[in-house]
Amino acid sequence: MSLLANTLLGSLRTLASVALILGLAFINPIFAEESRERNLGMTMNLIVVLFATIGLEIGSTRLGLSFGKILPSLNQFTVFLCDHLLLTALFSLIGIAPLYLGTRKLSRI
């Protein structure tokens, strides 16, 4: 059961991260012929997502946005599940904004 839950949660987080990375790539499209510029752009997008992930993971627990702190009577698996779903929802909301702005920018190009 835990393997299935981890696979599903990982897939949801990956989907939210891909939306964020794709939105960042749409906002700053790279039409360069050189592979160095293309790779640098992709690397910068991945670094932004990596630091956003670390910042949200640490920042949410420091601000008290953990279900374990809010509801201490919950078991550890439920706390982990709810915390993960909360952060995935935040990533989805954060990813929708650059995705929308990037598609508008690309449609104008």
Look at residue 11 in the predicted model and tell me its pLDDT: 92
Q: For the chain, how many structural domains are there in total?
A: 1
pTM, whole model, 2 decimals? 0.74
First to last CA, the chain: 47
Q: Would you call 32 helix, strand, or coil by DSSP?
A: coil
pLDDT digits (tens, 9 = 90+) for 51-72: 888 888 888 777 777 787 888 8
**CB-based burial, 82-109: b 16+ in 10 Å, e otherwise:** bbbeebbeebbebbeebbeebeeeeeee
Q: Give the pLDDT score at 83.
A: 84
Q: In this predicted model, which residue has the larger pLDDT, 6 or 30?
A: 6
